């Protein structure tokens, strides 16, 4: 995927690469992305993104018509593949990102969906669909991070949105067509709101999240599903909650924010080797080493 390599070379925040330096992939230790995505509380952002993405009817229909969502084994395997894709896209080398990106683009290029309103057949990799799914991720990552207490300045929030355009390119979008700041992201959602609504499949998807189809060996996860799903729902924008037929009250926003902050603070008492995934631990170590290197250079100068 030559375009991803070109984007990597041209990014303004790219880390210096001495001969033999590690390949940090799309982001690296100087990115906001690594700092945000490593925290355990970001698990909630994945569920929020799914709920937000489902409000685009064609995105929801395309997913429902091309996957076995009701089959426990198939649904679980699909979730595992999605999590692995996000992991590699965030922490993998450029070669690894190329590999998973090529696989996803090839798969999407073969799939079609049926618009249940018009009877029109559409491509799953239609740019509008891809951009809606991408922005659902970005908005959810940033919203959960800031509300949970991961400190980000306005400039860092804009940098995060801009960095995610590299992720958009992995699935086949032109970065020039992707919002590059928080303000542009807000304009995008204002433009899209008249086009979106909660179709029957989206509402069914929400009900399934409350009682997810999981393999028998993971049945205990069902016990946590209602509470986790309720939290994810309460973090949605008020207009999105209303589309699902749920109250969009300011008190729900406050309760969700306080819960996220408690989860984030609570996770800090867990030892790092248990709190972070292996990739996140590696990223944390690289970021610490980079910060120490910068401090030594400042002292020396």
Token couple for 139: 């908005």
Query: Mean pLDDT throughout 105-134?
Result: 96
Q: Which residue has the tokens 């067509």?
A: 177
User: What is the rounded distance in angstroms from the CA atom of residue 258 to the CA atom of residue 136?
Assistant: 22
**At residue 86, does pLDDT exceed 50?**
yes
Q: Give me the mean pLDDT over the 197-221 stretch.
A: 86
Specify the residue for token string 């609504």: 197
Greatest C-alpha distance within the chain: 68
H-helix or E-strand containing 233?
helix 221-234
What pLDDT, on the 0 to 100 scale, is given for residue 19?
31
Which of 79, 187, 172 is CA-nearest to residue 131?
172
Helix (H, G, I), strand (E, B) or coil at 143: helix
Average pLDDT for residues 212-217, to the nearest whole number? 76
Decide if 130 contacts 21 (C-beta within 8 A): no
Q: Single out the residue of 30, 296, 272, 53 nearest to residue 156, CA to CA.
A: 30
- Asked whether the beta carbons of 196 and 56 are under 8 A apart, the reply is yes
Residue 113, φ and ψ in degrees, nearest 5? -135, 165
**Looking at the predicted structure, is the pLDDT value of residue 1 above 60?**
no
Structure tokens at 35: 């700092």
Q: Encoding tokens for residue 115?
A: 């618009």
Selected residue with higher pLDDT from 1 and 276: 276
| CA-angle at 251, arms to 257 and 43, nearest 5° | 30
| pLDDT of the residue at 261 | 97
Beta-bridge partners for 138 = none
223-252 pLDDT, tens per residue?
A: 889 999 999 999 999 999 999 999 988 999
Q: Is a pLDDT exceeding 70 seen at residue 270?
A: yes
% of the chain residues with pLDDT over 70: 90
Coil, strand, or helix at residue 301? coil
Average pLDDT of the chain?
A: 89
Contact 57, 196 (CB under 8 A): yes
Regarding predicted confidence, which is higher, 275 or 19? 275
Residue 68 — pLDDT band, cuts 50, 70, 90?
Answer: low
Q: How many CA atoms lie within 13 A of 165 on its CB side?
A: 23
- Copy the structure tokens of residue 72: 């426990």
Confidence band, pLDDT 50/70/90 cuts, at residue 296: confident
pLDDT of residue 17: 34
Query: What average pLDDT does this structure show over 191-198?
Result: 97
Q: What are phi and psi of 121, to 5 degrees?
A: -90, 130
User: 102 is written with which tokens?
Assistant: 């090529």
């Amino acid at each position: 995927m030559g375009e991803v390599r070109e984007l990597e070379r041209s990014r303004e925040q790219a880390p210096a690469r001495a001969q033999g330096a590690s390949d940090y992939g799309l982001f690296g230790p100087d990115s906001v992305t690594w700092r945000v995505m490593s925290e355990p509380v970001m698990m909630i952002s994945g569920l929020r993104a799914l709920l937000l993405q489902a409000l685009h009817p064609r995105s929801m229909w395309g997913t429902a018509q091309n996957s076995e969502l009701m089959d426990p084994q198939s649904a679980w395997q699909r979730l595992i593949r999605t999590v692995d894709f996000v992991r590699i896209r965030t922490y993998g080398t450029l070669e690894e990102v190329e590999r998973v990106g090529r696989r996803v683009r090839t798969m999407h290029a073969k799939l079609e969906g049926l618009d249940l309103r018009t009877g029109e057949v559409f491509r799953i990799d239609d740019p509008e669909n891809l951009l809606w799914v991408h922005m659902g991720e970005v908005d959810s990552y940033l919203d959960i991070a800031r509300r949970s207490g991961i400190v980000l300045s306005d400039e860092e929030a804009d940098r995060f949105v801009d960095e995610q355009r590299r992720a958009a390119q992995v699935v086949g979008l032109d970065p020039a067509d992707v919002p590059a700041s928080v303000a542009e992201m807000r304009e995008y959602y204002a433009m899209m709101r008249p086009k979106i609504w909660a179709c029957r499949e989206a509402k069914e998807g929400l009900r399934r999240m409350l009682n997810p189809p999981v393999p028998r060996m993971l049945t205990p996860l069902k016990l946590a599903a209602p509470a986790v799903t309720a939290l994810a729902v309460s973090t949605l924008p008020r207009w999105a909650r209303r589309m699902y037929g749920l109250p969009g009250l300011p008190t729900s926003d406050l309760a969700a924010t306080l819960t996220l902050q408690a989860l984030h603070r609570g996770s800090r008492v867990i030892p790092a080797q248990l709190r972070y995934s292996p990739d996140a631990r590696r990223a944390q170590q690289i970021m610490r080493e980079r910060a120490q290197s910068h401090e030594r250079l400042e002292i020396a100068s």
